[in-house]
Structures are given as C-alpha cells and as structure tokens.
Amino acid sequence: MPHATSPTRHAPPTDGGVHRRRSRGLAVLSALLVAGFLASLAIGVRTMDPATTIKALQSIGTTLSDPAAAGGDFRAVAQLRFPRTLIAIVVGAGLGVAGALIQGHTRNPLADPAILGISSGAALAVVCSGAFFGVTSVFSTSVWAFGGAVATTGLVFALAGIGGGRLNPLTLILGGAATSAVLTSLTSLLVLSSDDNLDRMRFWTAGSLDGRGFAVLFGVTPLIVAGLVMALATGPQLNLLNLGDDVAAGLGVNTRRARTTGMLTIALLAGAATAAAGPLGFLGLVVPHIVRSLTGPDYRWILPYSAVAGADMLLAADILGRLIVRPGELQAGIVLALAGAPFFIWLIAKKRVQAL
C-alpha cells in the first residue's frame, strides 16, 4: 500500500500568524515602556519603593495644586520626574519614527535625522539666542532650537531644488551634508569666541533631559504627536516608494509630494525632539534596525514599533544615567553614545543590519 504523503513539517506562517506575532511583540515593548515609566518615577538621588511611587503618581494633581502640603518625595515626582519621564517618552518616540522615515525615504541604512542638518541648525540657533539675545531659560532655548531645525530643513530643500532639478533622496542627503558642515563651522566660531557660549553648548550638546519641565513638555508634545500621526498615515505609501519611484508612480503615488511630506514630517519630529532634549545621537540610527529585525520590511509595522522602541531606549538611557554616577547623573545623550555605538557595531558584525 503506498505511503501517505506526510504533511509539511515547517509550513510558512500565514498572514494571521505574522499579524499575531507582530502584535505580541508590540505588546511586549509597550509593557517594557510601562515598567520604564514607573522606574523613572522611582529612581533618582533618592530612590522610592514601589508603593510610595504609586501613591506619588496618584497624588500628582493634588501635589501640583498645593506643593507646600506634600512631602518631599511627592514633590520630586510631580514637579521633576513626571514631566521628565513624559518628555523622554515623547522625544524617544519622535526620534525613533524620524529615523525609520529617513532610512525609508532615502533607502540609506546608515541615515539618521542629523543627515538633514537638523541638529546643526538647532545648535546654531541655540548659540545665537544666547550670544545675541541673552536667552537663558530652557523653554526659550527649546523654541529657538526648534526654529533653527525647521529653518535648516527649509534651506536644505531649497538647495536640493536649485535649478529645477528633481527632488530625490541623493540631492537631499548632499544638501543636508553641505548645510550641516557650514552651520557646524559657524557654531564653532561663535562658541569659541565666548566662554558663556562654551558653557551653554557644553551642556546642551550632551543631550539631556535634566531640568526639562512642564513648559517644555507642553511645548513640544503637540508637534511630535502631529508628526507621529502624519508618519503613521504614510506607512502604506512608504512601502510602495521602497519598490522604486517608477513602480510607485505606476501604482498611483505622487512620488514628489510623498517625499516632500515625508521629509517635512522628519523635520517636525526631529526638530521638536532636538528642541526638547538637545541632539541625541544613535537613537534614530539604531532603533529602525532593531525594529526591522522584528517586523520585517513592512512600514505599517516598522513605524509604530519604532515609536515604542525609541521611547523605551531613551527612557532606559535616562534611567541608567541616574544610576551610573550617583548621586550625580550622566546625560542621556552620553549613555546612548556609550551603549549605542558598540551595539550597532555588534549588529553589523552579526550581519543583522537590514538592507533597504
């Protein structure tokens, strides 16, 4: 009697199975974000136990309305750690998505938001605000940084479109590199000409969440949320663009408008994030690679994953910075550089950097 054909042992996953796996992964990252949120409220110069942390969180409204009647731990959570933690989540989400967008639009696996000169423009604006207008407050500095980032993006687009040439990823990258070099030189000139500017920039360029309060949170959150909504809406379109501009155009995509919208969204996200916390390296570069190893090339999943993973990474860096040199703290930007560079080298060595 003939043998019955044995079923395939390793059948390929169905669309439903892939969807469930990706949903579980996003749920795990979200759970890590909740844990990081609570840890960030508890950890500082004085670490609180979980019960006190929960009570302080529940009493934030009362504490803010009447700080004098609240205990020291409750005031520390409500006035310092709570806004700082929310800024870390919002900024991390913005930079993670900005990194995924710029790698997708330029099809360059080593691209990050700084490639458009955003950090350089923000840094020059911060130096000018202090040198020429005497700006010193964190909120005012953030406003200047955001304006500088957006203005730089506009300049890069103008340079890329000179002569009526086609606006494509290569011209944007070249324009961004040239603009960044010029702005960095101007920033160095101003910084080295004044001790006050040197002191201000030494702190700001490290990338820090320390001292960022509700004014900064309320200033940048609407901008980053708007950018995230715009980014998530472009996921299906970005999938088509990565098939090539000719194929995307054949499928009905206005490629020029799509690229312009994408780059403006990157500027909005990265500009607001840089304004809030200073230039934070490696996050926008590393997060998309980690995410693509979990989700594959589908930007409908890469973008939300990048938002949550970016928030997780920046929150973890901020917490580690408070633990490494207690009772002082190490800026989040330094922690990201120390951890991000070796990790990215490991990804390259293991050949886990996803081709675009």
Domain spans, the chain: 32-349
- Report the C-alpha gap between 238 and 228 in whole angstroms: 14
What is the CATH topology of the domain spanning 32-349?
Answer: ABC transporter involved in vitamin B12 uptake, BtuC (1.10.3470)
Query: Residue 192 to residues 127, 135, 178: CA-CA distances in angstroms?
Result: 11, 18, 22
The three-point CA angle 315-341-92 to 5° equals 25
Neighbour count for residue 343 (Cβ, 10 Å): 16
pLDDT in tens, the chain (356 residues): 444 444 444 444 556 778 889 999 999 999 999 999 999 999 988 889 999 999 999 999 999 998 888 888 899 999 999 999 999 999 999 999 999 998 898 887 777 887 778 888 888 898 898 888 888 777 788 788 888 888 888 888 777 767 555 556 677 778 888 898 999 899 888 888 877 777 767 767 778 888 888 988 998 999 999 999 999 999 999 999 888 888 988 988 898 889 889 888 988 898 889 888 888 888 998 899 889 989 989 999 999 999 999 999 999 999 999 998 888 888 998 899 888 778 777 766 765 555 55
